[in-house]
Amino acid sequence: MKPMLPTLTFERPIKKGWVYEVKYDGFRAILEWNYQGIDLISRNEKSLLEQFPEIKSFILSLEDKIKPFLPLRLDGELVSLENPCKANFSAIQTRGRLKAKKKIKELSELSPCRLMVFDVLILKGKPLHTFSFQQRKEMLIDFFESLGLETTAEPASHQLLQPVIPHNDFNELWEKVVLYDGEGIVAKNKTSVWEEGKRSSNWLKYKNWKYVSCFVTSFDKTNGYFYVGVYKNEQVTTIGQVLFGFKPDEKHALGQIVKQNKISEDQQYIYVEPAICLEVKYLELYENQLREPHFHQFRFDLQPSDCTYDHFIFQQKNLPEELEITHPEKPLWEQHAIRKADYILYLREVSPYMLPFLKDRPLTVIRFPHGMFGEAFYQKNCPDYAPDFVHTYATEDINYILCNNLKTLIWLGNQLAIEFHVPFHTIYSQGASEIVFDLDPPSIDDFSLAVKAALLIKEVLDQLKLIGFVKTSGNKGLQIYLPLPEGKFTYDDTRLFTSFMAEYLISKDPDSFTIERMKRNRGNRLYVDYVQHGEGKTIVAPYSMRGNDHAGVATPLYWDEVNEKLEPRNFTLKTALQRIKHQGDPFKNYFQTKEIQPFAPVLEILKKQG
HEC letters along 270-282: EEECCCCEEEEEE
Amino acid type, 47: S
Query: Where among 176, 205, 234 does a domain terminate?
Result: 205
Predicted confidence band of residue 324 (pLDDT cuts 50, 70, 90): confident
Residue 325 lies in a domain: no
Instruction: Decide if 190 contacts 17 (C-beta within 8 A).
Output: yes
CATH number at residue 484: 3.90.920.10
pLDDT value of residue 583: 84
Same domain, 201 and 230: no
Average pLDDT over the chain reads 94
* Containing structural domain, residue 562: 434-535+555-566+583-606
CATH number at residue 188: 3.30.470.30
pLDDT value of residue 610: 64
CATH number at residue 302: 2.40.50.140
Same domain, 493 and 597: yes
Average pLDDT of the residues in 354-382:
97
Cα–Cα distance, 344 to 545 (Å, whole number): 11
Same domain, 169 and 292: no
Answer yes or no: is pLDDT of 163 > 90: yes
Residues 6+ apart with CB under 8 A from 181: 83, 85, 86, 208, 317, 318
Same domain, 366 and 297: no
Residue 322 lies in a domain: no
Same domain, 214 and 201: no
> Could you say which of 15, 23, 67, 281 is catalytic?
23
Same domain, 158 and 35: yes
pTM tops 0.85: no
Query: Where among 205, 229, 259 does a domain terminate?
Result: 205
Query: Where among 161, 180, 205 does a domain terminate?
Result: 205
- Residue 604's Cβ-count burial label (10 Å; 0-12, 13-18, 19+) is exposed
Q: How do residues 530-570 score in pLDDT, each as one tens digit?
A: 877 889 899 999 999 999 999 999 999 999 999 999 999 99
pLDDT value of residue 157: 82
Torsion from C-alpha of 597, 598, 599, 601, nearest 10 degrees: 170
Q: How do residues 21-55 score in pLDDT, each as one tens digit?
A: 999 999 999 999 998 899 999 999 999 999 999 99
Answer yes or no: is pLDDT of 413 > 90: yes
Same domain, 44 and 110: yes
pLDDT value of residue 464: 96
Which residue(s) pair with 101 in the sheet? none
Predicted confidence band of residue 190 (pLDDT cuts 50, 70, 90): very high
Q: How do residues 253-288 score in pLDDT, each as one tens digit?
A: 999 999 999 999 999 999 999 999 999 999 988 888
Answer yes or no: is pLDDT of 421 > 70: yes
Answer yes or no: is pLDDT of 322 > 80: no
Percent of the chain surpassing pLDDT 70? 100
607 is catalytic: no
Residue 118 lies in a domain: yes
Residue 479 lies in a domain: yes
Answer yes or no: is pLDDT of 64 > 70: yes
Number of folded domains that form the chain:
4
Predicted confidence band of residue 503 (pLDDT cuts 50, 70, 90): very high
